[in-house]
Amino acid sequence: MRRGYATRSTLITKVNVTPIIDVALVLVIILLVTAPLLSVADLPVNLPQAQTRELEDERNVSITLSSSGELAIDDKVIPREALPAMLHDRLTQKGDENVLVVVRADSDAPYSTVKGLLEDARTAGAQRVAIATRQKTEVVR
């Protein structure tokens, strides 16, 4: 009886990295899914309701500075020296204590002048101050 010798099997000399990559990708996916959940505190919070944009615009005080240096509060053109007093009078009216003061300055206006307007608004008692900008529009090709 002749015994058959099994053919010699070749040794596996390379490491199969496919299972390692699969495990690593699963861990990355778990990390990406759970990371946003970890950044929020687990406290019960009753969030305030947002005002509509139209209502917010009605209560703004607008300070407008033109490129030539002319100044206006809302729709009244005023001299630069009268700004702090007129703004203080406007902000102390009943219901306007916490109104948003928006500085609308021409892009050619000097930064120091805009900074002075912001300081005048704070000095006059403005609690909230903002700078108006034009929304950037993208050209679609």
Model confidence band, residue 102 (pLDDT cutoffs 50, 70, 90): confident
Nearest to residue 125, comparing CAs of 89, 94, 95?
89
- Name the class of domain 53-131: alpha beta
Model confidence band, residue 7 (pLDDT cutoffs 50, 70, 90): low
Average pLDDT over the chain, rounded to an integer: 77
CA-based max dimension of the chain: 120
Report the pLDDT averaged over residues 67-88.
84
pLDDT above 70 for 50? no
Return the sign of the alpha-carbon dihedral for residues 47, 48, 54, 57: negative
C-alpha pair distances (Å), 136 with each of 54, 63, 105, 108: 21, 22, 16, 17
pTM of this prediction exceeds 0.75: no
Return the sign of the alpha-carbon dihedral for residues 113, 118, 120, 123: negative
Report the pLDDT averaged over residues 77-83.
87
Residue tagged 């928006």 (tokens): 102
pLDDT digits (tens, 9 = 90+) for 62-71: 888 887 788 8
How does DSSP classify residue 64? Answer: E
82 or 51, which is more confident? 82
pLDDT above 90 for 26? yes
